[in-house]
Chains A and B, each alone.
Chain A
Amino acid sequence: MSDNKTILVVGGGMSGITAAVEAAEIGCDVYLVEKNPTLGGRVAQNNQYFPKLCPPSCGLEINFRRIKDNPRIHYFTLAEVESISGQEGAYEVKVKVNPRYVNENCTACGDCAKACSTEIPNEINYGMDTIKGAYLPFSFAFPLRYVISPQIIGTPDAQKCKDACKYNAVDLDMKPEIVDLKVGAIVWATGWQPFDAGKVEYYGFGKHKNVINNVMMERMASLNGPTKGKIVRPSDGKEIAGIAFVQCAGSRDENFLPFCSSVCCLASLKHSRYVHEQYPDAQIYIFYIDIRALGKFEDFYTEVAKDQKVSFIKGKVAEITEDPATGALTVTAEDQLSGKLSKETVDMVVLATGMVPATVQTRIPADVSYEENGFVLWDQNKRGIYGAGCVRKPMDVAAAVQDATAATLKAIQSTVRR
């Protein structure tokens, strides 16, 4: 690859994939670096998109094909950027590629997983279930290759996986590798993490079993999730008769996330559809400050609002308590429209938690500007590295794709300038 016309994209979620394929289809060479074993990021963990209620894997299928068919894209999984030096037009980047313990011989036949008896917490399902120590993250995973968890390396199970593989694909001696890349510009699209709702103590997340957050709800509703798509109470698997959604759980709150995450209202409206799909008679309460369904999303809100079994209560939830005997939860809020105290008892509560930019945890190892919450800025005086998607501000999927496309053009400009 010619050095300064090449673009490095960090993060293989929706924004990063978009940046990579858009740049490559223009004619740039691209390196795509993803820290997880597969591409797809947060959207791959979602059940459906609002407002169409269509599966994210459909668009990923197209994007994965665009990557497979395009020789200009080189991707690394289980990889992280260690250091960046140089400047716009000429960066030198060190990428650490962590061992997968499975090489390119893997055919995804699944024999290693069959041989492995150790179960480890399943991070894809936010720890709601376990997965074999040798696993394929998704059926639609790309690359379609198993991964052996470092947690079983050194145990007899790892050897069993190796012995079970007919294709000599398991390599337990794999070591981390450092790859040196030379690129002209960088798109940083490492996405976001769900706000840790445990910090809002009075909501009982992590304490009350039946209080979950919105990303867990996505997994629960997914066919390939911990409950095979069935939405049930985590404590006992009971079906849902009543459920509450607590909007702005930590968001728009000076003590936690002062900003609005811009997608949580629509996500909860969507979740109400998931619930009624499975339990048409379930009573749903949505506690909100403002319902932010901007633009044409208003139609989706209007549709949900027609549902007689969805009650909208304007008020910030003050407390969630648990009946230890039954696991039932009581949600207390002041209903600002009536001035009365609203207390609803339900089977399950979903906290609509916001987005924390991934750059809060892992900064870009270069001179880049951030705003006070840790979102990356496009700084006119520091060109060459561009944030894209939810590291720049909270946004929905379509906006992230647009933003990533825009960031890609900025990156291309950095490679053609001077």
Chain B
Amino acid sequence: MDKKIGVYICKGCEIGESINIEALGKIAKTPICKSHDVLCGKEGPALIKQDISEGVNAVVIAACSQRVKTEVFQFGPDVLLNRVNLREQVAWCHKPNDEDTQMLAEDTLRMGVVRIQKMDFVTPYQVEDIVKNILVVGGGLAGMTAALETSRTGYNVILVEKENTLGGWVKKQTKLCPTQSPFEAIEDSGMIEALMREIDQASNVKVYTSATIEKISGMPGLFDVAIKQNGNSVSERAGSIINAAGAVSYDAGKLGHLGYGTSKNIVTREQLEELVAGGKINKPSDGKTAGSVIFILCAGSRDNNHLPYCSAICCMESLKQAKYIRTQNPEAKVYIIYKDMRTPGLYENFYKAVQQDDGIFFTKGEVTAVNGNDAAVTVEVKDTLLGENIKIEADLVVLATGMVPATALGEAIKIVVEEEKDKKENQPPPPTDIIIRSNILNLDYRQGPELPPLKYGFPDSHFVCFPYETRRTGIYAAGAVRSPIDLASTMEDATGAALKAIQCVEMSSRGEAVHPRAGDRTYPDFFMQRCTQCKRCTEECPFGTINEDEKCNPLPNPTRCRRCAICMGSCPERIISFKDYSVDMIGSMIKNIEVPEDYEEKPRILILACENDAYPAIDMAGMNRLTYTPYARIIPLRCVGSTNLVWIADALSKGIDGVLLLACKHGDDYQCHMVKGSELASYRMIKVKETLDRLKLESDRIRFELVAHSDFNKIPNIIDSFMETIDKVGPNPYKGM
């Protein structure tokens, strides 16, 4: 479609008083360029809509930030739109009626016009014959809940469980910790039976028991699932997936220091549950009544030699088991040795109820020794309340062992094999993930067969605000596999995961990206003729979007894509583009910055800023009327990880004196919403700096800074101190060439 561009400049909010609008208008060089006193008032949009009705189909709004007045400047999917920020980033933070401010405004508009010239109309990617079934892997409490909640919403479910019956860990519990208000008493397992019954009766839930996943290939809306059941292979299709594989108990065999293995009467909480299921809670050694029982909490948990984390349920489960013992034998004495009693929220009611039982004694302390044989066991505890060291003898000791996610069990593999990269380029590989072969999903993905785990093997989200963020689009972890979790929270978690799974197929069917660029209808286009099979895109995509054929050609899977454009940044051949975002587009914007030949008066620096965090921080600096050098030119990026190195070359060969990247925090506590974008950009900049040093071009011309959304007050200092560095380094020698 031919483009007819209209540029609309607002004079309100001090823009008109600060900038020579007439001179600015001449920069546009577009068929239509108009200015208005208050573009966001009633007349502005009407004026633009009038022009649209007369053929304008690409609108540049040169006014306030792209983050505001979005509801006013909306002209539908058939009109391209670009916002040029003359308010927060020009008029509000620079000297009015100043030559440098004017030049900044002109460059900003120039870049804005180029941007829209390079944009194209979007036709979303829509999967043909999209499948909306939801696959749930794991039939425990999380899996059953996810399956039922999905089914109740009207979607078909495929539920795969490796055991010969549904129920998982909860089914092995004789009774349950309280899951409902008032959270005071143990509940019978009726809730689990009801779940199983409803699944059995649901016409839209297909259950495979004694079954595992052999292979999953494809992408959201179109996953091909090979299920192995009793030696037979079955094929199913699913639109999205919930991993509810659960957790296993920590291996008590490693808890020799707590006496495990020295006496039959030292058992885990799982083994105690088996005793309860068998009827009488007797000493395993001789079958006699256990008249005294010690619970050792955090057995192997909160312990750097074992599980450093807390498993969240062991306090509650031990309280429940203490009640089992007391109910069965009102004469029995129960001792609970704990570090902290962790019964959060309304579970406090249960703790209080158990404390009322005068046969249950609570002792805070560290267990120092567990000695025993099959006759009796002694537990020594130090640092108890009141500073005493005590020794308790008991018939039975229960170790409250923690949980290990099913995803933590298996061989750890690296996505990028170091040796291979070394040989090819004589450089370390980019920072990529380690995947654990846990044999749960068996994804046919370039980057490995399972969800990338976070610490301790949990494939959790790293985001407080977005607990359902997933590194593999359309595959959501729920329940104990994702994080140590109690029963009620498991059901909530699984219900939420069911929503996300449904949402993913619905958004995919509309050709929209899911979080964080929810609703983005663009997708990456690969110009394959120029591909050199370097594999950077297939290795560096944080979401495992791109597969490879046997010749190492990238095979994109559009509905797996999160539109971060990190692949676009990674590609040395620059063959990856989006309709409204490309290497050529940003490169052209950079090339259209006017660089005066005389550095002494007019140096120039380029700022590439994350549009979610750094860019709003710069806006807020403007709103607070903080000032900084007018020599900076700012371009917002989908993610700083989309920075292609050619942009640095474009900037330096154009004579721009320095390039500043403003990105989100990376590392263990990363804040980058594209997970790896900031880290990859930082890695690439180190490479660039090495190259610059080799070319005798000062590497100080490139700087990579971490900026958080709340850092608006630091913005002037970050920009100005970079400007000072550039002043020291001196003019770019390519200037004027």
Contacts and interface: CB of A to CB of B under 8 A. Distances in A.
Given A14-B465, A371-B346, A406-B493, A25 B713 contact: no
6 closest residue pairs by CB, A with B: A59-B465, A405-B496, A406-B495, A55-B710, A262-B344, A290-B340
A371 B613 contact: no
A134 interface: no
Nearest to A63: B465
Given A21-B518, A54-B669, A107-B64, A413 B152 contact: yes
B712 A139 contact: yes
30 contacts: A22-B499, A52-B462, A52-B669, A54-B669, A55-B710, A56-B465, A58-B465, A58-B664, A59-B466, A62-B515, A66-B518, A139-B620, A139-B624, A259-B346, A290-B340, A294-B342, A295-B312, A299-B455, A302-B308, A338-B386, A371-B181, A371-B182, A372-B182, A394-B345, A397-B465, A398-B467, A402-B493, A402-B496, A406-B496, A413-B153
Interface in A249-286: 252, 258-262
A70 B506 CA distance: 15
Interface in A119-170: 139-140, 144, 166-167
Contacts of A21: 518
Nearest to B65: A144
B492 A167 contact: no
A168 B388 CA distance: 74
B311 A295 contact: yes
Contacts of A397: 464-465
Contacts of B518: 21, 25, 66, 69-70
Interface residues of A, number: 82
Interface in B459-499: 460-468, 483-485, 489, 491-493, 495-496, 498-499
A345 interface: no
A60 B673 CA distance: 12
Q: Which interface residue of A27, A47, A296 has the most chain B CB atoms within 10 A? A: A296
Interface string B564-606: 0000000000000000000000000000000000000000000
A402 B468 contact: yes
Nearest to A338: B387
Contacts of B502: 26, 409
B495 A410 contact: yes
Contact of B41 (A49, A105, A108, A394): A105
B709 interface: yes
A316 to B, nearest CB: 13
Interface residues of B, number: 90
A83 interface: no
Contacts, number: 241
A223 B712 CA distance: 9
B650 interface: no
A397 B12 CA distance: 39
A292 interface: yes
Interface string B50-78: 00000000000000100111110000000
A57 B616 CA distance: 10
B506 A54 contact: no
B499 A26 contact: yes
B456 A54 contact: no
A25 B512 CA distance: 9
A339 interface: yes
A61 B613 CA distance: 8
B310 A62 contact: no
Contacts of A297: 310
Interface in B663-702: 664-665, 669, 671, 673
A143 B481 CA distance: 38
A406 B612 contact: no
Contact of A259 (B311, B348, B710): B348
A353 interface: no
Contacts of A47: 710
Contacts of A68: 70-71
A58 B503 contact: no
Interface in B300-349: 302, 308-312, 340-349
Contacts of A26: 499, 502-503, 506
Contact of A299 (B308, B483, B708, B710): B308
Nearest to A340: B387
